Structure 1
Amino acid sequence: MNTFHYKGRTNRGDAIEGRLEASSADAVATQLFNSGITPIDITEAKTTKSTSINLNDLFGAGVKLDDLVLFSRQMYTLMKSGVPIIRSITSLAESTRNQTLAKALRHVVEDLESGRELSNALSRHPDIFANLYVSIIQVGENTGRLDEAFQQIAQYQELEKDTRDRIKTAMRYPMVVILAIVGAVAVINLFVIPAFAKVYAKFDAELPWATKFLIATSNFTVTYWPYILAGLILAGVGLNMYLKTENGRYKWHKYKLRIPVVGSIINRSLLARFARSFAMATRAGVPLIQTMTVVSRAADNDYLAERILQMRNGVERGDTLTRTAAATGMFTPLVLQMMAVGEETGAIDDLLQEVAEYYEREVDYDLKNLSSAIEPILIVAIGIMVFILALGVFLPMWDLAAAARGGR
């Protein structure tokens, strides 16, 4: 946005001047008229370019779910209090600490001043406001219940944030253990085994196959560690680029649901998100076909999104929601039965809400027991590593000690 210097007069005829940020002089004039000021002269202010580097511009601060929850809650409060929407968003743009969100909100204000609807203005920032968010706001605009729309979105986002936080907390312990194992293996290969290899070389004795394997692995690591590190970095970058492609992202999202122990938890958390977002959109009055399209885009998993679109296509052909859901193979018989009852009674939103709560209870229980489920796997991995080290490092020492005692 550019900065404009304006001169004008108030309703009482008093002269006034100042500066405003806007996309154009017309936008400044509109703001002044809305404030009861008659503009006389509007000129673009000359600003000196700063040579300082803004880290946010280079790397992008990003908008977290916490920021969106706070924004939705504040908008609900302001809308319910009767504060005009432009004034509300302008105030939140000035008060938010996230500069990326503040910049987007200022653009939204400009669009509103130019005559756009709020849902249309939000849709121009898809990286921040998802399709589900925009659709619920659009329904709130059409029904005149914009405050309730923001309240529904805030509640949904708070539950989403709670689920994500619980998954991150549950995964923290096994990730720390795995990183510790990787670090220990690196230290042993680079420092410990070479020291033992020097001791074995002095005795010129025949070494067991396990010891030879460890020494060969250590020598390779010590000699080529710069290439190994570079290879790992290149592999990580290449994998990241592949996962950003449509095919790579789809395969990863499909494989992620099949990871032992963790995959079932991720699958049920995604289904809980699907059911809750479906129920929220249906309750807000979004048409069924549009709801399924919006929910598929909000699924955050391409594999699940494809199944939801298959359900939409079946419904478009005249099939029931329950039959199309059963054809995907994603839902349990209990959930399918609840969906069938919801279709028969016309309370599909309430039944899907119960489905979401059912999955969330299961996910919560599994997350609480995730550490105990992963611990045996980690213990076995550590035991195998210790066994190989004991076999390869200490067995030759026992043989050498026995040989030394026999020589006496």
Structure 2
Amino acid sequence: MPLFAYVAQNPDGKKIKGTIFSESEEVAKQTLYKQKIVVNKIQPAKKKVHFWQKSFGGVSYKEKLIFLKYLSTILKAGLTIKRALELLKTQIKNSYFAKIIAEIHESIENGQSFNDSLRKYPKIFSEIFVNLIEVGEASGRLPETIEYLEEILTRDNLFRKKIRGAMIYPIVIFVLIIVVSIGLIRFIVPKITAIFVTFKVELPITTRILIQAEAFLKSYWWLLIGATAALITSYYFLLKVRSTRKMLHRLLLKLPVLGTLTKQIQITQLTRITASLLISGITLVNSLQINANVIKNLVYRDYIKKADLYLHSGGEFSSYLEQRPDLFPDLETQLIKLGENTGSLANTLNVIADLNEEEVNEKIKIISGLIGPLMLIVMAALVGGIAISIITPIYQLPNLIQSR
């Protein structure tokens, strides 16, 4: 469906500009007129889609949540999915997302189901997203399913934000340390060095190291930048290699504190998503296969992918997890066994997810509380060391001159 750009007046008489998807200019004018918008000028337009939007999806969690909230509300009001999408595609501000919704609407008009239309955009709509929509369509409870999906995404988004927030603070402090140190060495040290060179005195070793560092930065700054860029580029391309990523993921799981935290994060996501899919009516085998495409840690992903063979052969999920006690603690496997025996696996998985999520949140608080002061101490020690290396020779200068 074509996109039209218009210049118009709103009910208050204020000049406005916007875009609208419509079959023709006349239909677009009529649609806007119903909204009490008087069109002055309308013409075909193409929405600009940025490179970053094409490459990385370009649709945030927040935008997807808003989309789901509005879609659920419109469907509950009794409108069809086709009509709901027709309304939403004109209201979405993200040009890339609006284009996707328009294409989905067109697919549905051509006879495809909503979930099949969503499957065309795996970077935007995850397998969990699509499968839950499919279940909702099949059961005739699409509005309720969308509302449930919104709750899942909201909770997952909050969980991810806490993890990202804990990581950002130390990175910012580390970058600040580097910038301050380079600034002191590059711009302050040369001015002090000029004084010492004039008197030709023997300087303390820390000051001499500082002077050499300044000389290196001055002469080989390009080498430092090049080496940093090469390291970042190499790391980026190495992460593209699956075997390298898996090796790093395995190493991460073995680290003292971060390893335990990573395991709990993976278990939280695995149990939460599996529980949600089971509640929606998807079988355990299919739930795990969907999950395997969502889990980020490749060690966990590869192990969960192999679960279907074990389950198809008559094995229990808990027995399969017991084979890897390094990935799944005994408490979790025993609770899952209890859930299987009592027929309440989905509820048990939700309990496990809640327990692990609570522990993860507590650990993140503790780690964040410790890392902040530690990084500040490191920054103070580094900057203080540079300052002392500069100030000490100044105070010692009279003695150094006399000893010549």
Range of TM-score over shorter length: 0.7 to 0.9
Deviation at 1:21, TM superposition (A): 4.1
Is the 8 Å Cα contact of residues 261 and 374 (structure 1) preserved in structure 2?
no
Residue 191 (structure 1) aligned with residue 184 (structure 2): no
Distance 1:123 1:194 in 2: 61
Distance 2:245 2:93 in 1: 32
Shift of the 386–57 alpha-carbon distance from structure 1 to 2, 3 Å rule, reads closer
Shift of the 191–289 alpha-carbon distance from structure 1 to 2, 3 Å rule, reads same
Distance 1:234 1:259 in 2: 26
Equivalent in 280, 291, 299 of residue 303 of structure 1:
299
Identity of aligned residues (%): 23
User: Which letter does structure 1 place at the counterpart of 2:348?
Assistant: L
Q: Which runs of 5+ in 2 are unaligned?
A: 5-20, 28-42
Shift of the 234–141 alpha-carbon distance from structure 1 to 2, 3 Å rule, reads same
Residue 368 (structure 1) aligned with residue 361 (structure 2): no
Q: What is aligned with 1:206?
A: 202
Is the 8 Å Cα contact of residues 261 and 373 (structure 1) preserved in structure 2?
no
Distance 2:45 2:60 in 1: 30
Residue 282 (structure 1) aligned with residue 278 (structure 2): yes
User: Which letter does structure 2 place at the counterpart of 1:331?
Assistant: F
Alignment of 1:21-100 (within 5 A): 21=23, 54=48, 56-60=49-53, 62-100=58-96
Residue 136 (structure 1) aligned with residue 132 (structure 2): yes
Equivalent in 336, 341, 357 of residue 339 of structure 1:
336
Distance 2:395 2:64 in 1: 63
Is the 8 Å Cα contact of residues 72 and 144 (structure 2) preserved in structure 1?
yes
Distance 1:21 1:327 in 2: 59
Cα distance per residue 1:163-219 (max 9 Å; x no partner): 122233333432332222111111022112222322222232333433332222221
Distance 1:295 1:112 in 2: 27
User: Which letter does structure 1 place at the counterpart of 2:265?
Assistant: S
User: Which letter does structure 2 place at the counterpart of 1:99?
Assistant: S
Deviation at 1:271, TM superposition (A): 2.0
Q: What is aligned with 2:228?
A: 232
Q: Work out the number of aligned pairs and report it.
A: 367
Q: What is aligned with 1:165?
A: 161
TM norm structure 2: 0.81
Distance 1:311 1:272 in 2: 18
User: Which letter does structure 2 place at the counterpart of 1:347?
Assistant: S
Is the 8 Å Cα contact of residues 2 and 44 (structure 2) preserved in structure 1?
no
Distance 2:159 2:290 in 1: 21
Distance 2:257 2:192 in 1: 38
Distance 2:294 2:270 in 1: 8
Residue 351 (structure 1) aligned with residue 344 (structure 2): no
Distance 1:373 1:262 in 2: 14
Equivalent in 85, 98, 101 of residue 102 of structure 1:
98
Distance 1:265 1:112 in 2: 43
Distance 2:116 2:333 in 1: 35
Q: Which runs of 5+ in 1 are unaligned?
A: 5-18, 23-30, 32-46
